[in-house]
Amino acid sequence: MISRNIELLPADKVYQYALRLLSGRDYTVAKMRHKLAAQEVVEQGLETVVSRLQREGWLNDMRYAERFAESALSSGRYYGVRLRLEMRRRGFSEEVVHETLAPLLAESDEISEVRSAAERRYPGFSYSAASDRDKRRVVGFLQRRGFGFSAIMRALRTEE
């Protein structure tokens, strides 16, 4: 197997490689550094390419974080603590995570989010009529999405 070594290529070729990566999906600065380092790009060339991508607007952690968070919240995929964890796992700094999520979570109503997530996944679910097993399954599903236990219980019990 032939190993492709980008280190020998001029800076423009490394830049073109990074643009090709970004054409497929967004990357955080940390993940882009990791991808370029995996290709054995020298540290100086790596930083030059990353700073150029940031300067030209191709690589922007804040923009990517906002899009990711809005998508996760609107689809009901992640909320609260789980959303924070997923964003940190993807390489966003703690500062970017906090700046992105503070306004989004402040304007959303957790109780209504819990209800809509439960209704999407378990249509017609009634907490008072459900068996203990079904209650545990629904509560567990909602907790894995990042909702707090107290918000889940308030939403499910007041729904009746």
DSSP-derived letter for residue 89 is H
Q: Are residues 140 and 153 in the same domain?
A: yes
Asked if residue 51 belongs to a domain, the reply is: yes
Asked if residue 119 belongs to a domain, the reply is: yes
In this model, does residue 94 exceed pLDDT 90? yes
Please give the average per-residue pLDDT across 2-8, as a whole number. 48
pLDDT for the residue numbered 10: 64
By the 10 Å C-beta count (0-12 exposed, 13-18 middle, 19+ buried), 14 is classed as buried
pLDDT for the residue numbered 21: 92
pLDDT for the residue numbered 4: 53
The region of weakest confidence among 70-79, 81-90, 136-145 is 70-79
Q: Are residues 10 and 50 in the same domain?
A: yes
pLDDT for the residue numbered 7: 44
Q: Are residues 44 and 67 in the same domain?
A: no
pLDDT in tens, 15-67: 888 999 999 899 999 999 888 888 777 777 888 889 999 999 999 999 999 99
Total structural domains in the chain? 3
Q: Are residues 116 and 152 in the same domain?
A: yes
pLDDT in tens, 115-157: 888 888 899 888 888 899 999 999 999 999 888 898 899 888 8
The tokens for 7 are 């280190």
pLDDT for the residue numbered 6: 45
Please give the average per-residue pLDDT across 95-122, as a whole number. 86
Q: Are residues 23 and 35 in the same domain?
A: yes
Asked if residue 68 belongs to a domain, the reply is: yes
- 41: domain CATH number is 1.10.10
Asked if residue 70 belongs to a domain, the reply is: yes
- Average pLDDT score over the chain: 85
Q: Are residues 145 and 130 in the same domain?
A: yes
In this model, does residue 8 exceed pLDDT 80? no
Q: Domain residues for 71?
A: 61-107
Q: Are residues 126 and 103 in the same domain?
A: no
Q: Are residues 14 and 48 in the same domain?
A: yes
Q: Are residues 139 and 119 in the same domain?
A: yes
The tokens for 80 are 């609260």
Asked if residue 1 belongs to a domain, the reply is: no
Q: Are residues 75 and 51 in the same domain?
A: no
46 Cβ contact list (under 8 Å, min separation 6): 14, 33, 36, 37
Q: Are residues 86 and 123 in the same domain?
A: no
pLDDT for the residue numbered 80: 84
CB burial string 74-112: b at 16+ within 10 A, e below: eebebbbebbbebbeebbbeeebbeebbeeebeeeebbe
Asked if residue 135 belongs to a domain, the reply is: yes
What is the Cα Rg of the chain in Å? 21
Please give the average per-residue pLDDT across 71-87, as a whole number. 87
pTM: 0.71
Asked if residue 143 belongs to a domain, the reply is: yes
pLDDT for the residue numbered 105: 77
